[in-house]
Amino acid sequence: QMQLQESGPGLVKPSETLSLTCTVSGDSISRSGFFWAWIRQPPGKGLEWIASISFGGDTDYNPSLKSRLSMSLETSKNQFSLTISSVTAADTAVYFCARDNFSRGGFPTDLWGHGTLVTVSS
Amino acid sequence: SYVLTQPPSVSVAPGQTATIICGGNNIGSKSVNWLQQKPGQAPVLVVYADKDRPSGIPERFSGSNSGSTATLSISRVEAGDEADYYCQVWEGSDDYVGYVFGTGTKVTVL
């Protein structure tokens, strides 16, 4: 059974770069039909899609964040990663990694990690 | 980009039916997914492609989609259904490629 687990710094200073990693267990990250995603949720607020990457490495980014984002796959480690540059307090959120299932109608995000809280503060 | 609007809250008595709506421009032409999120937990997919249920999701959860509104219905509501619910669509247009989430609806079981 596939599982996802986020890892990250917990606390990042304003203007610095946030780096997050998601480790996938139970199956290969290279399986066709799946994309891999990052979604965030500021405290007390709703969900915001950040980015997705295909098993082949093609990326889609939220236009509102695109200039600060970079997402990558590391297939040898069965991991994918996200960096957000020039962070501000507005980037404080729980960050979830997740699986987008492109083999199902609607392409649902159907498997999620538990989430990791990232706070941006000096 | 595409906008999905949900009512902030819905209240329902146990045993009754909760109806959660998701409004968007011509949403009936898109495929809508629904996620349930309980406090402190990650979201869980409860309906995908307008009306299909993943394995393990009770038949009490059903979806529909037409015109400018998609709907998630929860029949015979239980205390354990109290959660935030989000609609989701994948949008692939000239100016936006990616996912859009609705604003979320908090379901309270009275």
- What is the per-residue pLDDT across A4-38, written as a single tens digit (0 to 9) for each? 999 999 999 999 999 999 999 999 999 889 999 99
Interface contact flag, A106 B45, Cβ < 8 Å: no
> Does A42 touch chain B if contact means CB atoms closer than 8 Å?
no
Average pLDDT, chain B: 97
Interface contact flag, A60 B98, Cβ < 8 Å: yes
Alpha helices in chain B (DSSP H): none
Assess whether pLDDT exceeds 90 at residue A39.
yes
Helix (H), strand (E) counts: chain B:
0, 9
B103 chain-A contacts, CB cut-off 8 A: 46
pLDDT for position B61: 98
> Does A33 touch chain B if contact means CB atoms closer than 8 Å?
no
Average pLDDT, chain A: 96
Q: In a structure prediction context, what are the per-residue pLDDT tens digits for chain B, which is 110 residues long?
A: 899 999 999 999 999 999 999 999 999 999 999 999 999 999 999 999 999 999 999 999 999 999 999 999 999 999 999 999 999 999 988 888 999 999 999 999 99
pLDDT for position B95: 84
> Does A23 touch chain B if contact means CB atoms closer than 8 Å?
no
- What is the per-residue pLDDT across A95-112, written as a single tens digit (0 to 9) for each? 999 999 999 999 999 999
> Does B57 touch chain A if contact means CB atoms closer than 8 Å?
no
B97 chain-A contacts, CB cut-off 8 A: 60
Q: For residues B11 and B45, give the distance between their C-alpha atoms in angstroms, rounded to a whole number.
A: 21
pLDDT for position B1: 82
DSSP readout, A43-101?
A: TTS--EEEEEEETTS-EEE-TTTGGGEEEEEEGGGTEEEEEE-S--GGG-EEEEEEEEE
> Does B103 touch chain A if contact means CB atoms closer than 8 Å?
yes
B96 chain-A contacts, CB cut-off 8 A: 63
Kindly report the nearest CA distance between residue A76 and chain B, in angstroms.
26
Query: Between A and B, how many CB-CB pairs are < 8 A?
Result: 75
Rg of the Cα atoms in chain A: 14
pLDDT for position A17: 98
- What is the per-residue pLDDT across B53-83, written as a single tens digit (0 to 9) for each? 999 999 999 999 999 999 999 999 999 999 9
